[in-house]
Each structure stands twice: as structure tokens, then as C-alpha cells.
Amino acid sequence: MNAMSYKGYFARVDFDAEDEIFVGRIAGISDVVGFHAENVAELKSAFYEAVDDYVEACGKVGKEPQKPYSGKVMFRVKPETHRRAAIAAEMAGKSLNQWAEDLLDEATENYP
């Protein structure tokens, strides 16, 4: 997995073979906050600095820094999928919300 975390923020990291550097971006916020480094130690430091700078810059302009993920997930599915999911949840003795959360937890347990 190509992810890092710091102060509740996560970053996706890729390797740019052309420039031979690691390139990262804070995930889960609409503000674009990126960083890069030539090795892992520098990458970690650059990520921490990017998060700290982002929070500080927001404070200077009176903006609340975005926090990734509120816990509310809204998405659309086909009516037939919705029906089957509702039945599966009821058969499991759970609300549709709890049933879906349990499935998402299981599907993402190997991610930070």
C-alpha cells in the first residue's frame, strides 16, 4: 500500500520514475496539498511539513482546515441492489446502515 498518515490526514504516494522522486498528495480533502522527496525519510518529513503548513495556512486566513471524511457516505445503487441489500441486512438482524458499514469495514481492513 502506498499510503501514510499524520494528525488524521492520509496521503497517497507514488513514484515518479522520470524525475526519480516520490510524490505525495493529501487524500480526502478538496484542497490540493502535495509534497515530494527523493527518499523515504525525506518523504515522511515532507508529508508532516505539508500537513503542518496546511493547517497553519488555513489558520492565517481564518479558514477551518478540512478534515478528511465525516462518516457520512451517500451513493446511489440500482433499485434491485438496494432491495437485495435491505433483505440481506434484515436477514442478518441489522439495519441497512450497520450491515453496509460492516461490509465496508471488512473490505477495507487492510487500509490505514
CATH, residue 82: 1.10.1220
> Is residue 52 domain-shared with residue 91, that is, in the same domain?
no
What is the mean pLDDT of the segment spanning 45-72? 92
> Is residue 16 domain-shared with residue 43, that is, in the same domain?
yes
β-bridge partners, 10: 5, 27
| Domain limits for position 51 | 3-60
Q: How many domains does the chain have?
A: 2
Q: Is residue 65 part of a domain?
A: no
CB burial of 59-92 (b: ≥16 within 10 Å; e: otherwise) equals eeeeeebeeeeeeeeeeeeeeeeeeeeeeebeee
> Is residue 7 domain-shared with residue 52, that is, in the same domain?
yes
> Is residue 105 domain-shared with residue 83, that is, in the same domain?
yes
Alpha-carbon distance of 51 to 64, in angstroms, equals 13
> Is residue 75 domain-shared with residue 56, that is, in the same domain?
no
Nine-digit cell at 19?
524525475
Per-residue confidence band for 30, with pLDDT thresholds at 50, 70 and 90: confident
Q: Is residue 24 part of a domain?
A: yes
CB 96 within 8 A of CB 89: yes
Q: Is residue 98 part of a domain?
A: yes
Alpha-carbon distance of 37 to 83, in angstroms, equals 48
Is residue 93 left, alpha or beta, with left meaning phi > 0 and alpha meaning psi from -120 to 50?
Answer: left
Per-residue confidence band for 72, with pLDDT thresholds at 50, 70 and 90: confident
